[in-house]
Chain A
Amino acid sequence: MTTTQTAAPPANEKPAETRSWWRDDASEPLRRNLALFAVLILLIIIGIATRPDLYSDSTWVRNNIFTILELASVIGVVTVGMTFVIIGGGIDLSVGAIVALAGVWSTTLATQSYGAGGMIFCALAVGIGVGVVNGILIAYGRLVAFIATLAILVAARGLAAQISGKQTQVSTNTFINDIAANDLLGIPLLVYILAAVVAAGWVLLNRTTFGRRTVAVGGNVEAARLAGINVKRHTLLLYALSGLCCGIAAIMLTSQATSAQAAMANLYELDAIAAAIIGGTLLSGGRGTIIGSLLGVIVFATITNLFAINNLSTEVQNMVKGGIIVAAVLVQQFRYKSLSQLFNRA
């Protein structure tokens, strides 16, 4: 029998730091969003290449940035709520329908008679209310989120059509209508609202117990439950939060159009989910960032803007958007696979 023995290593030798900060865990969020920044820069380069005449005008460039942000504002607010729901392990297909229902309900003649305060209260209450219904169905009724919110999508659009009698309801409230029309310090008010919602969403996700519970419930629901977290109540709150965001978005959208109708905010659920996903939110839950989602929304708005300044059709635009979603999900899947292979397998 051979017994070879190598000398024991010196006891207090530190393992060498062989990797740069770049490979460090702390730089992970930056790395994750880098691809989106690259896409954004690419889109701007395409813009400059296709319309050099416009881009040579600095006032136009400045205004165009706000145009893009304004374009992103309504869907951005919806996406913040959606990001919470997806990180929490769910999905909300009813967001567009909730925006429409809240918009229609807050612009009925009866509601408008209570003034701007009444309209805002109505929109937020309808949003939260439908969100709570979603939450009850999913958390306590144990319906699959996809099915429950799909049913609510259909029902809420139906109710909106019923209330509005399929008519466009014009908003006569100047306070509401002025929100979208006005600037503060040269920046549209809608952009401030987006900024406020994003900031609040960031704080909520990263600095509060609510955010911590969201990650726990979405990351490992059994672990969260066995740690004493009230998973059902939290799930309900997540859908209520998404509903609240939809209520805010309804007011913004009503203000932009100075009217509301049952077909408004069409397919917002797809835009919001797509933005969250390309922003790095894991569809299976437990992982995602508000900043990533915001970047996702801005990328989509920039594409829309790029097509608008080149006078191209929306059909092609949708095809390009679809392609970007597929690419983003492929990249994510690849990341996820390699991650799970490296770390989770065992």
Chain B
Amino acid sequence: MTSPEVNDAAVVLKLEDVVKTFPGVRALDGVQLEVRAGEVHCLLGQNGAGKSTLIKVLSGVHRPDEGRIEWLGGEFKPANPQSAMKAGIATIYQELDLVDDLSVAENAFLGHEPRRFGFVRRGYMSRHTRKILTRLGHGEIPPGRMVRSLPAAGKQVVSMARALSHDAKLIIMDEPSAVLAHDEVGNLFRIIRDLTSNGIAVIYISHRLEEIREIGDRVTVLKDGRTTAANLPARTTPTRDLVSRMTGRTIEYVFPEQSTQDRGEELLRVDGLGRTGEFADISLTVHSGEIVGIAGLVGSGRSELLETIFGARRPESGTVTVAGKALRPGSVGAAVRAGLGMAPEERKSQALLLGEPIYRNVTLATFTGYARGGFTNAGKEIAEASRIADALELRPRDVRKPVRTLSGGNQQKVVVGRWLLGDTKLLLLDEPTRGVDVGARAELYQVIRDLAARGVGVLLVSSEVPEVLGLADRVLVMREGRVVREAPAGELDEDTVLDLVMAGSLQAEEVTL
């Protein structure tokens, strides 16, 4: 239950009837929101409901068309992100907005570098960054390291460090846990509690209801740009209520039936695959019609393994065999020709052409197949992309819109949808449901199951253990670059997997989930 202090705490932020339109879309259509000092206020809503737009209005990225925002008792009209930060509102955006070629410290203090006599105080900046990183449980990240060389989760930590480097009274977090592993989420929650106990308010966005139950005080639900419910108690409101207010219907959050059919012939065989510092001596097989899940922490070498199988990295030892034929190492082209497809971990930097229309992003791996004599077939591409858009409930449905106008979860559907076209025989999925809402997630699971039923082999990496257990037929658990357990999904449960994943990990005792 909400603590009494929060109940009485002053309202710091109040939004009334906020409207924001983009060409052809009313992204916000009358939003009410009220946030108190020292509370964790959760925003819930489907993909495209307007959550990110709302926080971009608060952080000065977008200017609202109508409505009123009150911040600390006065009217608030931030002209740009800098002025919102100066007013005490710090934001962690859904899509990482770090500068790849600057160091961790430079990114953390970007735009507000500590200066003396006009010179940046590099030493101070670096010390302070280290302090924040340690507080975040990541003292091991060197402040001088280039951000480009960090894995996705590391980048997420840096953008959190950036938010904490401000003297903020409100911190907005747009799906911060989407890139974080289980134990990291525990860390994040510890920091959030620390912040709120100092009277700092937090707006927290996530599609995972169990997180909202754990960390949230109150919930505001958005649907189609409107507030459909405000200030519900985060812990006690029944899930059915939350989901029906989000979606307007009731969705059972269940995994589709595990297939009963026997698995087909062997599609993929990986033998003794290794890369120094990433993973070592990995052997695995995937059969036609089988879904194999890989569980493990971020940094356990899962993504690197997938990329190596796909030819995006060159193995230092070991072989990859697809349908009995050895795959040329280090060649994505050869992998794609052999029928492999991969939805990579980072959608923005690894998968999307943001300025291009949705359909061209969906058909990026298949447009050559639709072409005749080198001429592209836009009609066919649009038709195929629309089919995928329907299957994955993409919003908006008009596939000629540029991908950059899509919400985060919808962009993710585009990344996965790309490999549902064409005749992919083996699908490598790296965090396929990152940022996808509860309803669309169920659709996506069904689509993956259907593919397997048609004989496609799937190798799935996910930080969400229930997802791996619920979707996969067979599960591999990875730790520190090695497979520590392989078993049919039915023989494992969440606790066993978590124990395996974290055995020997220093942060194990800090896990609060």
Contact = CB atoms under 8 A, between A and B. Distances in A.
B376 A209 contact: yes
A25 interface: yes
A210 B364 CA distance: 12
A341 B61 CA distance: 7
A208 to B, nearest CB: 5
A346 B93 contact: yes
Contact of B7 (A1, A6, A216, A222): A1
A19 B353 CA distance: 25
A230 B32 CA distance: 50
Contact of B367 (A15, A23, A209, A341): A209
B260 interface: no
A3 interface: yes
A25 B401 contact: yes
Given A1-B233, A16-B26, A207 B376 contact: yes
B402 A25 contact: yes
A139 to B, nearest CB: 14
A212 B367 CA distance: 9
A226 B310 contact: yes
Interface in A212-232: 212, 215-216, 219-220, 222-230
B368 interface: yes
Interface residues of B, number: 64
Interface in B333-382: 333, 335-337, 342, 344, 349-356, 360, 364-365, 367-368, 371, 374-376
Given A1-B233, A4-B231, A25-B23, A226 B226 contact: no
Contact of A11 (B230, B248, B364): B248
A207 B344 CA distance: 28
Contact of B56 (A15, A224, A346): A346
Contact of B23 (A19, A286, A287): A19
A315 interface: no
A17 interface: yes
Contacts of A23: 23
Q: Report which residue of B364, B367, B368 has the largest number of chain A beta carbons within 10 angstroms of its beta carbon.
A: B364
A215 B2 CA distance: 52
B152 interface: no
B360 A212 contact: yes
21 contacts: A1-B2, A1-B7, A3-B231, A6-B227, A9-B29, A15-B25, A19-B23, A19-B24, A25-B400, A208-B376, A215-B356, A216-B356, A219-B356, A220-B349, A226-B312, A286-B353, A341-B61, A342-B62, A344-B95, A345-B97, A346-B52
Q: Which 6 A-B pairs have the closest CB atoms?
A: A228-B336, A346-B93, A15-B26, A343-B404, A227-B365, A227-B364
Interface of B: 2, 7, 21, 23-26, 29, 32, 52, 56, 61-62, 81, 93-95, 97, 174, 223-233, 245, 248, 310, 312, 332-333, 335-337, 342, 344, 349-356, 360, 364-365, 367-368, 371, 374-376, 400-402, 404-405, 418
Given A25-B400, A223-B350, A226-B344, 14 more contacts: A3-B231, A4-B231, A18-B21, A24-B23, A209-B367, A209-B374, A209-B375, A222-B349, A226-B310, A226-B332, A227-B365, A229-B364, A346-B95, A346-B97
